[in-house]
Amino acid sequence: MIASQAKRISSFCISNGVIDERDREKFDYCYEVFLSTLLNFAAVLLIGLVTGSLWHTVVFMLVFAVLKSTAGGYHADSHIVCFAETVGTFLLYRFIVFAVPAGIVPVISGSFAVFSVITVFLLAPVGTENKPLGRRQSGQLKRDSRLIALTLCLVTLSLLFLPVSPQWPFTVSFAASAVSFSLILGKVKLTGFRPDPDKL
């Protein structure tokens, strides 16, 4: 459904002279990614609105999107899987907020913040099979993702010492750690567990 809608948008733009027919394939892909991302964000924001946590949801999605845009990580093979993973990750975040005692949340937040920094420093950036990263691009993304991860970690630790709800530092750290898990999965997907033939 998303792919067909993306092609319709491209056809509309081509018929109105906005884009060239020769660039159709490129724009089909761009519109498809845009619509998929829009659907994921809309679903998560709707859940946040229904659960009375709209602003926490906005911060969650911003942190996730900003860090993932530089660090990269796992990409699902279909839009349905991507949608399910995005919504599932957010629902897990909301479940922990409601289920875990408030006194434990700061410890979890600090642990997640440190975990995300370590993971980003060790693995980022992680590209995909269809979109490998060049050396120059990889170097820039590595610097950017490390800076963002460190900033998010400092923000989380600072919030832990401020008179604010513990949900705020947890929101930042959980979103960052979600990207970190995505990095691990992305790395495994790219390299697998294939043994090094030189060591056999």
The residue extents of the domains of the chain are 1-50, 52-195
Check pLDDT > 80 for residue 30.
yes
If one compares 74 and 173, the residue with the highest pLDDT of the two is: 173
- The stretch 21-43 carries a mean pLDDT of 86
Amino acid at the residue 129: E
* Amino acid 176: pLDDT: 97
Contact assessment for residue 54 and residue 45, using Cβ atoms and an 8 Å cutoff: yes
Q: What dihedral do alpha carbons 116, 117, 123, 125 form, nearest 10°?
A: 90
Distances 2 to 20, 56, 78, 93 between C-alpha atoms, Å: 21, 28, 10, 27
Q: What does the pLDDT look like over 151-198, one tens digit per residue?
A: 999 999 999 999 999 999 999 999 999 999 999 999 998 876 444 444
Question: Global pTM?
Answer: 0.86
Least confident of 6-10, 84-88, 96-100, 130-134: 130-134
Least confident of 19-33, 118-132, 135-149: 19-33
Tell me the average pLDDT of the chain: 89
Checking phi first, is residue 21 left (phi over 0); if not, alpha (psi -120 to 50) or beta? alpha
Q: What dihedral do alpha carbons 107, 109, 114, 117 form, nearest 10°?
A: 180
Which tokens hold the place of 161?
């010492």
- The stretch 114-129 carries a mean pLDDT of 93
Which tokens hold the place of 139?
């170097």
* Amino acid 130: pLDDT: 66
* Amino acid 69: pLDDT: 94
If one compares 130 and 133, the residue with the highest pLDDT of the two is: 133
